Structure 1
Amino acid sequence: MQIRLEKLGFSYQEPLFSGITMTIAETHRVGVIGNNGAGKSTLLKCLTGEVEPTEGTITRPKNIRFGIIEQDIPPHLHSKTLYDVILEAMPEEERDYNSWKVDVALDTFKAPTVIHGKPVKELSGGWQRLALIARTWMGEPDALLLDEPTNHLDLEKIMLLEQWLNEQVRGIPILCISHDRSFLDNCTNTTLFVRPARSVSYPHSFSRAKEQLVQDDRAFAAQREKELREVERLEKSAHELKQTGANFHSDSASKKSAQMAKRADDLRTQVIESQVDVRRDIKLPNSGVHAKHLVELKDININAPDGRQLLHIERLAIPNGERIVLLGLNGTGKSTLVNAIYKAFDNRERAKMDGITITPTAKLGYVDQHLSSLPMNLTMTEYIAGEFQMSRQSVIAKLIETGFPFDRQDQKISKLSGGERSRLYLLALRLAEPNFYIMDEPTNHLDIDGQEQLEAEILKNGAACVLVSHDRSFVANLGTKFLLIQKGKLVEIPDPEVFYSQMAA
């Protein structure tokens, strides 16, 4: 079974993507990569026939069955149990003798027996997500389409999903939209970069494909520059000949000038614009600090809301430039510890009595996964201007620099996508000029380009940081110290892979 895409493209007023030419066979596991709003989900809809492409063709087998993972549990399934939601995806006549497949799926996902009989509406978003994925597979699709399959999943469930895809899902092509670089490296063997001017694919998983893309884009841009220089030379020669023809009344020179001008126009038309995505720069400042330690925790208990002790910290000192990654299973206290440090900045004297000392020059920048401090009722312009006492002209310039065109700047924040809210929030952080960052799942809504820019900025500015993230690539690229919460204590480990190996065991 094969699906053939030939010069496929889709446009509204402007192209979302174009030039997709590739064959998708049974062995292909395609990672679909692109910035937020690049048309990745639209591409999947083109494949299924839900949306017609505006250019190019799709050749697919007749009566092909696509397995499409829904983003949310449909209302008619809310009252059904986890087990039945998966089982009922099978043809009715197969359920009695094939129900073992449901057991295998639930066992692979390590679903506790106690939740098998629970209505899915009572389960966490992560379990609901895995239920929908398993349900789709039970329908025996000819091709599997995954749109952000790791959404709502914690790290343990992401690793279980990887295991399931690699061990159980075989013999059909998979197309997967994801911003999780480690997940893509572990689960795909082909990568498609969806772009407005020049979409390209490579027979590699993400990291190797990205290296090849960067090399090819540089070569392509160099060729484009060479062609444009030739266009400029022809245009200059045509202009000089035109002047000669006019000055000396030479029909021959005028005719030759017209021919040369046409050659220049034709060549300019043939020059394919090099793919240069609009840079939506993420820049984080470091206002500088001279203290030896910005934050120090000494002989302190971190307790759950119900009073249970989650961990005891004998001493944790965070010097300037240290990037600490907190690791641990769900419920061990990562976010509770981060929240304790965050609250300590609000009342430093009280915090000091409780065992958390913050140097007077430490200035906090806080990013939580819900971006809870963004005022949803304000426009982007109102928020930035009011928060930082900036002129409208300065606000416009900052928003454009961050990737928000002028005609969208008066939109309410509530109307922005998750990725756009992340970029706006990170702009606000930049303007606040902190020197100590607390980041709780900061990449949740960032596309891969945004993740890489954020990494580069954190590395560049040298500020201290406490980070909680299930993004393994982000953690590996940034961390200078890795602290695992284990048996109620902070244990330093040399590498996050130590923790990941424990989880996979």
Structure 2
Amino acid sequence: MSLIAVKDLSLIRAEPLFAGLDLSIARGDRLGLVAANGRGKSSLLRILAGGEDATTGGVTRSRGLVVAFAPQDPPERLLSLSLYDAVRDALAPEIADTESWRVDILLEDLAVEQATRDTAVGRLSGGWQRTMLLARAAVVEPDLLLLDEPTNHLDIGRIGVLERFLAGLPRDCAVVAASHDRAFLDDVTNRTLFLRPQESADFALSYTAALHALEERDAARDRQFENDMRKVKTLRQQAAKLKNIGINSGSDLLVVKTKQLSDRADRLEERARPAHHERSAGNIRLTASGTHAKALVTVEGAEIATPDGRVLVKIGKALIKNGDRVALLGENGSGKTRLVERMRAALSDADPQIRGAASLRLGYSNQALSQLDGFATPWEAVKQSSGLSDHVARSQLAGAGIGVDAQTAPIARLSGGQRARLAMLLLRQTEPNFFLLDEPTNHLDIEGQEMLEEELIRHQAACLLVSHDRAFVRAVATRIWVIEDRRLVEVDDPDPVFDRLMAG
């Protein structure tokens, strides 16, 4: 039974985001919504939720349908409420008192501790705010649950909680999740919609299998297009020859035949359509300066501690060699980010416990993209971080997906994906030979994640990275460090670690 159906739906902003979209969502569907940054995913979710109007087309909902939407960011009016009260606020006022037990059960299922429940939403991390928004949506017991980037800012353990929660929903509850997390999409979805300006593609497959099917379909369409255009060229050549013969012979029949061939070519050319090729949301390009040093970073006898002196992890001896791409895994609060921060400080100043090679050039990016702090505009950031000419600076910003108008606008107005690409562009200017990357894929779409993977691998860049993105770690890492029982250990395979962390 269809819960909601859209027919010939289109959304046009400065340009068409999607058009001619037909989609039906049935009970129990688990639909992954995939598109590049800024290509209409969030808008489509809001249209399905009834909070935004499409440009054309219609949305039909089943009688009595309950739809709940978990956006990416909390509305401002919730920031002063505790997490508990923000979730309770989603209940209708007439049942909030008698049905508040739903909130308690839900927050228990989502493993939210009492201290977190009592904390004001505005003081919570991005991950806990995401959990609150999910709980607000789920507490109304919807027939259709809409999730916008639900894994952003979640560590691997919280992603495990989310996946188990979704798996435990009533079987007839449908879920639509817009996400750039490839592993999450593979784990929780049974359908994938690739949202496109024209001819969006819907497959009854989870992400990876659906992507392969899409690539095969697009390749077949490109082959058909090339074949059709060869036929068009042949028909036009035949028509031209026949026209000359007809003119020379004065044959009316040949003139008619010429027109028939031309008409056939016109009809075939009008019908022929190449496969859609996604316009890039912006390039990610890195450079890596060379070094002959075998060991870029040496850690020996280091203790990583909290500001109040509580030891989080002890490191006996560890080396990062030229070309190593080391992924650092561990539970939330185990000391991953503090280790990255300590290493960054140590490589800038003398530290007997963490030493860098004399030729080391550091490139650093954290999940808050703090390297953008202090710059008013993208233009200022690039010009002050490099010796590029004005023309080259504008060209590189445009290549990173930051158009001319946005280049001199406040950085705060950029989307998350644009800010992430700008941060990678600034990294490129420093020409590092060692990268410290803390959650580098947080704001990147799938295209951006794959570009970053390719660049790190192509340049054989040495790096230490912290990431909750399992697909990214699997693609990039050549070594795996794990913080467990306050010790740093190295393992060969990240998957058992992922499984353990996700199981809680």
TM-score between both structures, scaled by the size of structure 1: 0.90
Task: Report the alpha carbon displacement of residue 497 of structure 1 after superposing the two structures with TM.
Answer: 2.9
In the aligned structure 2, how far is the partner of 1:422 from the partner of 1:318? 26
Task: Report the alpha carbon displacement of residue 395 of structure 1 after superposing the two structures with TM.
Answer: 3.0
In the aligned structure 2, how far is the partner of 1:232 from the partner of 1:196? 28
Q: Is the CA contact 1:89–1:135 (under 8 Å) kept in the aligned structure 2?
A: yes
Which residue of structure 1 aligns with residue 134 of structure 2? 133
Distance 1:119 1:56, change over 3 A: closer
Is the counterpart of residue 198 in structure 1 residue 202 in structure 2?
A: no
SS in 2 for 1:225: helix
Q: Is the CA contact 1:326–1:467 (under 8 Å) kept in the aligned structure 2?
A: yes
CA deviation map 1:363-405 (0-9, x unaligned): 2222211221226655444443443222233334433443445
Distance 1:200 1:293, change over 3 A: same
Within the candidate set 447, 450, 453, 1:452 is matched to: 450
Which residue of structure 1 aligns with residue 208 of structure 2? 207
Task: Report the alpha carbon displacement of residue 111 of structure 1 after superposing the two structures with TM.
Answer: 1.7
Which residue of structure 2 aligns with residue 323 of structure 1? 325
Distance 1:94 1:388, change over 3 A: closer
SS in 2 for 1:59: strand
Which residue of structure 1 aligns with residue 44 of structure 2? 43
Distance 1:66 1:399, change over 3 A: same
In the aligned structure 1, how far is the partner of 2:410 from the partner of 2:82? 39
In the aligned structure 1, how far is the partner of 2:233 from the partner of 2:96? 70
Which residue of structure 1 aligns with residue 474 of structure 2? 476
SS in 2 for 1:337: helix
Task: Report the alpha carbon displacement of residue 258 of structure 1 after superposing the two structures with TM.
Answer: 4.2
Which residue of structure 2 aligns with residue 345 of structure 1? 347
Equivalent position amino acid for 2:314 in 1: H
Q: Is the CA contact 1:363–1:434 (under 8 Å) kept in the aligned structure 2?
A: yes
User: Which range is displaced more, 14-23 or 291-300?
Assistant: 14-23
Task: Report the alpha carbon displacement of residue 244 of structure 1 after superposing the two structures with TM.
Answer: 5.5
Q: Is the CA contact 1:375–1:413 (under 8 Å) kept in the aligned structure 2?
A: no
SS in 2 for 1:294: strand
Equivalences for residues 70-469 of structure 1 within 5 A: 70-78=71-79, 80-91=81-92, 98-242=99-243, 255-279=256-280, 280-347=282-349, 350-351=350-351, 354-374=352-372, 377-405=375-403, 408-469=406-467
Distance 1:83 1:487, change over 3 A: same
How many residue pairs match? The answer is: 501
Q: Is the CA contact 1:376–1:412 (under 8 Å) kept in the aligned structure 2?
A: no
In the aligned structure 2, how far is the partner of 1:379 from the partner of 1:120? 29
Distance 1:209 1:342, change over 3 A: same
Query: Which 5+ residue runs of structure 2 have no aligned equivalent?
Result: none
User: Which range is displaced more, 81-90 or 332-341?
Assistant: 81-90
CA deviation map 1:164-217 (0-9, x unaligned): 111134322111111111221222111100011321011111121112112221
Task: Report the alpha carbon displacement of residue 61 of structure 1 after superposing the two structures with TM.
Answer: 1.4
In the aligned structure 1, how far is the partner of 2:249 from the partner of 2:402? 53
Query: Which 5+ residue runs of structure 1 have no aligned equivalent?
Result: none
Equivalent position amino acid for 1:197 in 2: Q
In the aligned structure 2, how far is the partner of 1:94 from the partner of 1:453? 49
SS in 2 for 1:128: helix
CA deviation map 1:425-447 (0-9, x unaligned): 22332343222111100001100
SS in 1 for 2:333: coil
User: Which range is displaced more, 191-200 or 109-118?
Assistant: 109-118
RMSD (Å) for aligned C-alpha atoms: 2.7
Q: Is the CA contact 2:33–2:179 (under 8 Å) kept in the aligned structure 1?
A: yes
SS in 2 for 1:373: helix
In the aligned structure 1, how far is the partner of 2:111 from the partner of 2:322? 41
TM-score between both structures, scaled by the size of structure 2: 0.90
